[in-house]
A and B are shown apart, each in its own frame.
Chain A
Amino acid sequence: MSKLLEVKDLKVSFNTFNGEVQAVRGVSFDLNKGETIAIVGESGSGKSVTSNAIMQLLPKPHGYVKGGEILFEGEDLVKKSTSEMRKIRGKDISMVFQDPMTSLNPTMKIGTQIMEGLIKHQKMSKEHAKKRAIELLDLVGIPQPEVRMKQYPHQFSGGMRQRVVVAISLACNPKILIADEPTTALDVTIQAQILELMKDIQKKTESAIIFITHDLGVVANVADRVAVMYAGKVVEIGTTDDIFYNPKHPYTWGLLGSMPTLDSAEEELFAIPGSPPDMTNPPQGDAFAARNKFALEIDKVMEPPMFKVSDTHYAATWLLHEDAPKIEPPASVQLRMQGFANTGNKVGDQ
């Protein structure tokens, strides 16, 4: 598989009145053609900042890339000028945002909004663009596309609006689609539809997807690989099966443990105590140590490097060091690692 995107040791900071906030502190991952990588983590873990940095959408001038590279087909996106970036954005890399209410222009007809990118990037004629826009609306499952073309965003429901946003992002057959919490604002049934739609389209167009979310259920549904972020760093990365069935980092355990299983009879959820650290002044050593009940002495002093678990699976925790005590994940997390589906597969049986 060829690498489409390589993020290497990316560091992003924001200047604020309280000093420099180190939102992303050295993130590395790569993305292959036609693959979906999910970035998960709590709010403030730097997952959205990472994606905004890839798109050069950081608020200037107080948000800036402090170091590292973002290689897209071998070219560094960090060094691109605004006008160069404008040619890539929407054409090669496009984005779906969380809130379909605010990411569409309320004063423009849906059709015009879809055609905009086609005319600009693909140099299509108006008629041609119109035809393509109708095709796209049809592709994302909006009935009567000819009529809908002439309508405004407020005439659509939330789920339909998000379909339109997906249609716009797909207009120029992007090589990478960045979806930043695309279904968080939607109801579960609509969410399931949008996810199915995205997977369907990915099969047809072979786009790669970066899927940003905090919902592990969604991750299990869409992702091929998963990167777990905490305090501006990737703490564990691996295939979806690695992360769900063989998680190594205590933070990943915590995330899995805090979701109830559908057949859980346990008295208490395995919650992560406390709250994420202040990124103006990141703690010394492992940033997660203060909330980690498996923390070792060394965690307070030195940051763990990425340990290799398998060819696809890496985790940054001292627990994987050969001298570390052998610690098994808590029982409730082990239960989850065996799979939720034991009784879950009965759900919704006809």
Chain B
Amino acid sequence: MAEKLLEVKNLTKQFSVGRNKVITAVNGLTFDIYKGETFGLVGESGCGKSTTGRTIIRLYEATSGQVLFDNEDVHGKKSKKDLLKFNRKMQMIFQDPSSSLNPRMTVMDIIAEGLDVHKLVSNEAERRGRVEELLQTVGLNKEHATRFPHEFSGGQRQRIGIARALAVQPELIIADEPISALDVSIQAQVVNLLKKLQKEQGLTYLFIAHDLSMVKYISDRIGVMYFGNMVELADSEELYKNPIHPYTKSLLSAIPLPDPNYERARQRTAYDPSIHDTSEEPEFREVKPGHWVRCTRKELEQYKKELGI
């Protein structure tokens, strides 16, 4: 897992709202995603996790900072041809499967759109064959190809969305809350499918969600975001067992688990932002190998002392 697929460097995205007013949705984010891993991005609504995903795939232009995909800058000037080439490598799965599929297109056309744009198929028979193959990959039947999105249930629609993303054989898939709109039992189906596809096709995922137990289950590494900043980044096991940043601790203590005995005994820790050392601007620092926390130098010492390093 040494090879970096995506490098995000100091990424900032600002939106202007009204006159002379700017909202910084993403504030100097830096992280890497390695080939073949699943990187989970969690945080509460409004913390900038979706904006991060959308800026990485260039649905938004970055205000400053860099996104390097295979050492190539995603943003910046690009010819149409380069852009086309880049778009094939990165695809997105959206949260709401009913609004992200065109209601007037058949499933065949939805899935084949990418194939047409990138001219990956030369004739009608090949096109149909490829779509049918994709439908089978995501657990649908080839008879479904002639139907329209409204004829499917939520879980099936999300499968169509996944098939569309897979059509152009991307290397990285950004999944923005792909299961939040689905029922619990269907969530498990979709997560199992995503895991299976990753194993078979060596995909890399950026998995954005607020459901922490699902993120823990699917991710290799997790980044926690708070108000546009990444406050902690670690292996998922490490993050859940030894959270360091107080915000992560409070977030983890708030997850309800389906275990009544645990719930009865649960002590929630509230996050109080005022406990932080304000003598200097906090930076992203490595507390343990592979475990990064946003903190000041003083806090770094304190965290290390607590951990006994």
Interface residues of A in 191-246 (CB under 8 A from B): 191-192, 195-196, 214-221, 240-241, 244-245
Residues B217 and A220 in contact, CB atoms below 8 Å apart: no
Residues A214 and B216 in contact, CB atoms below 8 Å apart: no
* Count of residues in A whose CB is under 8 Å from the partner chain: 52
Interface residues of B in 107-121 (CB under 8 A from A): none
List the A side residues contacting B265 at CB < 8 Å: 341, 345
**Cβ of B256 under 8 Å from chain A:** yes
**Cβ of B14 under 8 Å from chain A:** no
Residues B254 and A188 in contact, CB atoms below 8 Å apart: yes
Q: A216-B258, A217-B257, A269-B217 are in contact. List 11 more A-B contacts (CB 8 A).
A: A191-B254, A196-B268, A214-B183, A216-B184, A218-B256, A244-B258, A255-B185, A260-B191, A268-B195, A271-B185, A275-B153
- Output the least CB separation between A21 and chain B (Å): 16
A275 CA to B263 CA, complexed, in Å:
30
Residues B260 and A189 in contact, CB atoms below 8 Å apart: no
A272 CA to B256 CA, complexed, in Å:
22
Residues A339 and B259 in contact, CB atoms below 8 Å apart: yes
List the A side residues contacting B249 at CB < 8 Å: 348, 350
List the B side residues contacting A345 at CB < 8 Å: 262, 265
**Cβ of B145 under 8 Å from chain A:** no
From A189, A196, A240, A343, B250 is in contact (CB under 8 Å) with A189
In the complex, the chain B residue whose C-beta lies closest to that of A214 is B184
Residues B259 and A275 in contact, CB atoms below 8 Å apart: no
Residues B188 and A188 in contact, CB atoms below 8 Å apart: no
* 6 intermolecular pairs with C-beta atoms under 8 Å apart: A192-B268, A215-B256, A217-B213, A258-B184, A259-B258, A262-B240
A267 CA to B195 CA, complexed, in Å:
9
List the A side residues contacting B156 at CB < 8 Å: 275
**Cβ of B186 under 8 Å from chain A:** yes
Residues B256 and A217 in contact, CB atoms below 8 Å apart: yes
Residues B268 and A220 in contact, CB atoms below 8 Å apart: no
What band does the interface of chain B fall in when counting residues whose beta carbon is under 8 Å from A? 35 or more
List the A side residues contacting B268 at CB < 8 Å: 192, 196, 348
**Cβ of A284 under 8 Å from chain B:** no
**Cβ of A147 under 8 Å from chain B:** no
From A220, A255, A350, B260 is in contact (CB under 8 Å) with A220
Interface residues of B in 218-253 (CB under 8 A from A): 240-241, 243, 249-253
Residues B185 and A189 in contact, CB atoms below 8 Å apart: no
Residues B258 and A187 in contact, CB atoms below 8 Å apart: no
From A42, A245, A341, B184 is in contact (CB under 8 Å) with A42
**Cβ of A264 under 8 Å from chain B:** yes
A206 CA to B251 CA, complexed, in Å:
30
**Cβ of A15 under 8 Å from chain B:** no
Which of A196, A345, A348: most chain B CB closer than 10 A?
A348
**Cβ of B35 under 8 Å from chain A:** no
From B44, B187, B195, A187 is in contact (CB under 8 Å) with B44
**Cβ of A293 under 8 Å from chain B:** no
**Cβ of B105 under 8 Å from chain A:** no
**Cβ of A307 under 8 Å from chain B:** no
- Output the least CB separation between B139 and chain A (Å): 9
Residues A272 and B188 in contact, CB atoms below 8 Å apart: yes
**Cβ of A122 under 8 Å from chain B:** no
A272 CA to B192 CA, complexed, in Å:
11
0 or 1 for each of A109-136: is its CB under 8 Å from B? (1 = yes): 0000000000000000000000000000
List the A side residues contacting B266 at CB < 8 Å: 221
**Cβ of A340 under 8 Å from chain B:** yes
- Output the least CB separation between B41 and chain A (Å): 15
Residues B184 and A260 in contact, CB atoms below 8 Å apart: no
List the A side residues contacting B270 at CB < 8 Å: 189
A220 CA to B266 CA, complexed, in Å:
11
Residues A241 and B258 in contact, CB atoms below 8 Å apart: no
From A42, A191, A220, A257, B262 is in contact (CB under 8 Å) with A220
In the complex, the chain B residue whose C-beta lies closest to that of A348 is B253
**Cβ of B279 under 8 Å from chain A:** no
**Cβ of B123 under 8 Å from chain A:** no
Which of B213, B240, B263: most chain A CB closer than 10 A?
B263
A260 CA to B213 CA, complexed, in Å:
6
0 or 1 for each of A266-287: is its CB under 8 Å from B? (1 = yes): 0111111101000000000000
0 or 1 for each of B185-228: is its CB under 8 Å from A? (1 = yes): 11111011001000000000000001011101100000000000
- Output the least CB separation between A299 and chain B (Å): 18
Residues B44 and A262 in contact, CB atoms below 8 Å apart: no
- Output the least CB separation between A341 and chain B (Å): 4
Which of A240, A255, A341: most chain B CB closer than 10 A?
A341
List the B side residues contacting A259 at CB < 8 Å: 184, 188, 213, 258
User: Known: A244-B258, A275-B155, A344-B262. Contact between A254 and B252, CB under 8 A?
Assistant: no
In the complex, the chain B residue whose C-beta lies closest to that of A45 is B183
- Output the least CB separation between A344 and chain B (Å): 5
Residues B250 and A348 in contact, CB atoms below 8 Å apart: yes
Residues B191 and A269 in contact, CB atoms below 8 Å apart: yes
From B187, B213, B267, A262 is in contact (CB under 8 Å) with B213
List the B side residues contacting A346 at CB < 8 Å: 241
